Every structure is written in structure tokens, then in C-alpha cells.
Amino acid sequence: MFRVRIRTFKKPCHLHKVDRLNEKLLLVHDGEDERAPIDPFESLADATDKRDYTKETLCSLN
């Protein structure tokens, strides 16, 4: 018999440690990339905005 352990997160994984950032951050996303959805990019950008964290963003949406 196999046991499968499923972990669920209340927040997306990339947001767990935003408060611990201590270096400059560059967020880059190609808006047309079908393999990487834009939602994580936007949620991380919003999370850093709420904390007044210094960052640069580059996103191409055509």
C-alpha cells in the first residue's frame, strides 16, 4: 500500500518568503509564454508593492 502525502498551501509558494527579501529583485515575464502563466508574476509584483520593496519589472504583453 502506498501513502501519498499531499500538501496544500494557503498562499502560492513564491510568496511565502517575500518578507525575507534583502536584495534587489528583477521580475521578468514574457506575456505570450504559454508554459509560464502571468498570474505568479503579477502576484509577486503585487506582494512586493504592498511592502514597498524596491524592484524592477520587465513584462512584454503584445
Strand partners, 25: 55
Residue reference for cell 520587465: 58
Residue reference for cell 502506498: 2
- Each residue of 2-61: pLDDT tens digit? 676 666 555 556 677 788 888 888 989 888 888 888 888 888 889 889 888 888 888 887
| pTM for this prediction | 0.65
Residues 15, 41: contact at Cβ < 8 Å?
no
Closest C-alpha among 27, 26, 28, 20 to residue 51: 20
Ordered by start, the domain boundaries in the chain are 13-60
The whole-angstrom separation of Cα 23 and Cα 30 is: 23
